[in-house]
Structures are given as C-alpha cells and as structure tokens.
Amino acid sequence: MQARAVLASVLAMALVLSGCAQPERTIAPAGAPQPVQSTTPTPSPHPTLTKPPKPPLRPLPAKLPTGLRRNTGVRPVVLTFDDGPSPAWTPKVLDQLRAAKVTATFCVVGREVQRHPELVRRIVREGHQLCNHSWRHDLDLARRPVAEIRADLVRTNKAIQAAVPGAKVSFYRQPGGRWTSEVLGVAKDLGMRPLHWSVDPQDWDKPTAATIGKRVHTAARPGAIVLLHDGGGNRAATLAACPHLIADLKQRFGITRLS
C-alpha cells in the first residue's frame, strides 16, 4: 500500500510539471477591445485629367462666299505664289521674276516667315506684295471658332512685321480656298482683303512643267489671278514652267500688281 501511495504521488507531481510547461494563455476579459491588425493603406488613384472636347468644325458652305477677289479688274493678270517662303525655291522664283521684269504676290505661311525672315525681306525689297496665308496652312482654319481664326491671322501678321517692320499685308488667302463667311469677316476686320484665284494649274499635285504651262495658257483670261506655289514641297516643275508661262502671259495680257 505504501508503494502505491508513493507511485500516486510521483504521477501527480509529473502532471503538475507538464501543465506548467505549457505557454501561458491570456484570456481577455469580456467586453475588452480586440487588438487591431496593422495594414498598409491602399493609395487612392490619381484623378484623370481630361481635356475639354474641341468644338465641332463648322460645315463648309455649298458655294464660295461673296466678296472674294478673283479678278484684277483690268486686262493684265496677276501671278501669286503660295506656301513659302522656301529657301529651296523662293530665291529661284524671285530670280525669274526679276529677269522677266514683273512682280508677283507672295502668300506666305507664318511659321515659314519665322524660319526664313531674310526671304521675306528680299520679296519686299524687290517690289513684290505680301499676302497672309495663315500660320501653318491649316486647311480647316476657316471652320474653327472665330477666336482661333483671329489668333492665327494675327500671329502670322506679327511674324511678317517682325521680319519686315512696317510691311504692308493687304491680302489674306485661305489655305485650299476653303472659305467661310467667318474667316472672310476676320480678314476684313484685320484690314486684309480676301484673295482667291481664277486660274489653278494644280502645280501642288506635281504635274510636269509642260502640263502646268498648258493649263495656265488654256485657262487664263484678261484680269486672271494665277495660283502657283513656291513652297510646301518640291517645286521643280513649277520653276521649270515659269519662264515660258510668264512670257506667254506677259505677251497676251500683261502682268500687273494687285491694287
């Protein structure tokens, strides 16, 4: 009996010791706040900046508005050159005009004027006229809001005046001849008359020199305003056509300045 008592005492002691070896467990009292787990906050997305939609372009009128200059009003014709000044072609055109002793009207693009002011100075120095042909030859300019049209034409005139202070810019020509009453009105408000044409050999499409000359010869009438190009691309064919073309018009009608 004594041995059994000793064995029972040993087992009891072993159970106590094994319970003490368990990790302590802390039981929170009822109603106590639970610990909050730390989490990394998710950054909020940046707001997307959206540009306001551009106003829709006005439709082009079914026919050209009235008030465009399409004739000289006298027998002699006028030569006009668009899209320059170009360092590759404008000096050569000027050389030919000087050799033929005739003058022309140069419809200049504002950003080209800014790049090549010395050519604008030569145009004026040699007795030719200047015409505003928009800042960057925007074919849709006449369909844009009036404020944009005005800003474009004013910017171009300022570039011309910066190149040749005091230069007279009496005319405006809409790129592509895509006129609206709005662009016509802005040009007039700025003291420029809208200049169109009556003869277009489409030299911008790069026909041969012979084709350009033939088209001008066939279409020209007394008082014609002839559209040609000294900028905006390779104008080798136009340059090649000019000597014969100028001589033909000079002999048949005479060549004059716009008034």
Q: Which residues are catalytic?
A: 82, 229
**Residue ranges of E strands in 27-108:** 78-84, 105-108
| Count of Cβ atoms closer than 10 Å to residue 142 Cβ | 26
3-state secondary structure of 22: coil
The answer to whether the peptide bond before residue 56 is cis (omega within 30 degrees of 0) is no
Spatial separation of the C-alpha atoms in residues 71 and 216, rounded to whole Å:
15
Spatial separation of the C-alpha atoms in residues 142 and 60, rounded to whole Å:
8
Spatial neighbors of 119 by CB under 8 A, at least 6 apart, are 84, 85, 86, 87, 90, 91
Spatial neighbors of 133 by CB under 8 A, at least 6 apart, are 82, 83, 107, 108, 109, 110, 156, 172, 173, 175
Spatial separation of the C-alpha atoms in residues 135 and 35, rounded to whole Å:
69
